Amino acid sequence: MSEEIVLNIENLHVYYGAIHAIKGISVNVPKGKIITLIGANGAGKTTTLSTITGLVKAKSGKIVYNGIDITNKPAHTVNRMGIALVPEGRRIFPELTVYENLMMGAFNRKDKEGIKQDLEWVFELFPRLKERLSQLGGTLSGGEQQMLAISRALMSRPKLLMMDEPSLGLAPILVEEVFEVIKKINEEGTTILLVEQNAFGALNISHYGYVLETGKIVLEGPSQELLNDETVKKAYLGIG
């Protein structure tokens, strides 16, 4: 039985002016899996996510989501179709409370009961947010802001959750916690596309990985295989 593909990127090319940022990459994200894109800073990981969400225009190639071509569709349309992004650097609303930030994630929804249930779910994932409901987002610690950014995205009840460097700038103990939560979210049925510089953490929790270098995929395979690959070990895991 073949896997159901939620997201299919085919021969994608993206330019920033004269700079060829993405050079013909192809990526499949099957339903119910965690797929990771790993690579050094500047490899094109964030650009890939920005192009999927419609924030950056593709020059050529195709992005198909649940059988629908979404290449270059506007960001709000992509979001309404069930794709949510946890952006790099969190980008929460510092002047809004934790509760207001979470409600911003649910702004496209009308199902009050469902919103209530999802609020309870994010409090289960991150109990600290419940304690800080009326606190301003800008007064939270870095780790708490990351929890809020993830929770805000979950409040839109996405079919595909994309995460851009969720472990960046966090203390090691929090990094572990964030990766555990990503696993939990996936186990509850959400498909995840994870972009990470922390190759070890990302490959440990994902099912399949793609290695991106200067806009090209240089290696791909089941995550456990990539963890044991000599090239990956040397370049990304600091082993050997």
Query: What's the Cα-to-Cα distance from 141 to each of 8, 130, 134, 135, 146, rounded to whole Å?
Result: 36, 15, 15, 11, 9
Which ranges constitute the DSSP H helices of the chain? 45-52, 75-80, 98-105, 112-125, 127-131, 142-154, 172-187, 199-205, 223-227, 230-236
- Distance of alpha carbon 182 from alpha carbon 226, whole angstroms: 20
- Give CA angle at 211 (210, 217), nearest 5°: 85
Q: Which two tokens stand for residue 166?
A: 């969720």
pTM of the complete model: 0.93
CA 166 from centre of chain: 8
Residues whose CB falls within 8 Å of the CB of residue 40, separated by 6 or more in sequence, listed in order: 197, 213, 236
Q: What is the pLDDT along the chain (240 residues), one digit of tens a residue?
A: 468 999 999 999 999 999 999 999 999 999 999 999 999 888 999 999 999 999 999 999 999 999 999 999 999 899 889 999 998 877 888 899 999 999 998 887 788 998 999 999 999 999 989 999 899 998 998 889 999 999 999 999 999 999 999 998 888 888 999 999 999 999 999 999 999 989 999 999 999 999 999 999 999 999 999 999 998 888 887 765
Q: Which two tokens stand for residue 138?
A: 């800008």
Residue 23 DSSP code: E
Q: Which residue has the tokens 């939560």?
A: 181
Q: Which two tokens stand for residue 171?
A: 């203390």
